[in-house]
Chains A and B, each alone.
Chain A
Amino acid sequence: MSKEEVLLRIQAVLDQVLDAKGIPRVKLSEDVAVMDGTLPIDSLDLAQIVIELQSVTGRDPFRNGFVEFRTVGELARLFAA
């Protein structure tokens, strides 16, 4: 799965999460920080996004421990082929 496809999947899961919370959707870009408060999500929401990415890509970049990422683009690159 390309980085662009992973980004689309992140956007889709984020839309689901925000819809479920009744919060207006946010358009993602690669340089948006994931967890500094820019996005209205918490660690559990991020876990849902990561689980979805692991499921659709078959990749688990955290298998051997946590890997640092700050932005949506960095997260997408971890899962892109």
Chain B
Amino acid sequence: MKHVVITGGSRGIGAAAVRALLEEGYFVSTCSRAPTEHIRCFETDPALRERFYYQPFDLARIEEYERFLDACVARGGPLYGLVNNAGIAQAGVLATFPLVDCERIVRVNLIGPLALSRAAARHFLRHRRGGRIINISSIIGSRGYTGLSAYSASKAGLDGLTRSLARELGRIGVTVNSIAPGYVRTDMSAALSQEDLQQIVRRTPLGRLGEAADTVALLKFLLSEGAGFITGQVIFVDGGLSC
């Protein structure tokens, strides 16, 4: 059974991904600051709970990531895939945006994935069975958005990690890709005003906001054997907004 670790699986895209991968037959490990109704559901569903592991912790505590991964491997077996999904967003004009919030956003959205990818790379190097790393980025990392400078910088950094680590780990059969969703209807998009969201829908060729399922569909493909020759890519799932 293939084991996938997803950070931030308690809500939004993360929770949708956990459910979809459990239904596909993967063993799924995840973490978040606190459990939600989604987590309680995965832990109690007789069809899913045997293939599910959850550990609560504060994702800003980078030094605990390696221990978290070790605990996941102890429970779910050798690592096949890592999905760096956990992220935070906060809107504000940079000129008055508190530096402490800039640092927190970059820490969770970029330093965290760096630390966890490092831990995963060490695992992949020791076991040499290949694997997958998927970073959940954002269209904002490539296109930018007024009021989201720190968030945008963190996601652009994540895409840089994707490209470099893909080159580094390709030789041992590990693929590394970014999925860059457009504006998805989740708690995260609540940082945008209703007016902004309506404008985004008007500018999107497919005429709607994204859903978590749109991102999860690509995630499932990138984890599959069929995606074994795709690496180092940033793939937009944005209804054509960026085309």
Chain A residues with CB under 8 Å of chain B are 20, 44, 47-48, 51-52, 55
Contact = CB atoms under 8 A, between A and B. Distances in A.
Interface residues of B, number: 8
B128 A44 contact: no
Nearest to A16: B128
Q: Is the interface of A mostly helix, strand, loop or mixed?
A: helix
A52 B125 CA distance: 10
B128 A20 contact: yes
B122 interface: yes
B122 A44 contact: no
Contacts of B122: 51
B126 A44 contact: no
A42 to B, nearest CB: 8
Interface in B125-179: 125-126, 128, 168-169, 171-172
B128 A51 contact: no
Contacts, number: 14
14 contacts: A20-B128, A44-B125, A44-B168, A44-B169, A44-B171, A44-B172, A47-B125, A48-B125, A48-B126, A51-B122, A51-B125, A51-B126, A52-B126, A55-B126
A20 B172 CA distance: 11
Most buried by A among B125, B126, B172: B125
Contacts of A47: 125
Closest 5 CB pairs of A and B: A48-B125, A51-B122, A51-B125, A47-B125, A51-B126
Contacts of B168: 44
Contacts of B125: 44, 47-48, 51
A15 B171 CA distance: 18
A47 B172 CA distance: 12
Given A44-B168, A48-B125, A51-B125, 11 more contacts: A20-B128, A44-B125, A44-B169, A44-B171, A44-B172, A47-B125, A48-B126, A51-B122, A51-B126, A52-B126, A55-B126
Nearest to A42: B171
A44 B165 CA distance: 11
B154 to A, nearest CB: 24
Nearest to A55: B126
Contacts of A20: 128
A20 B171 CA distance: 12
A46 to B, nearest CB: 10
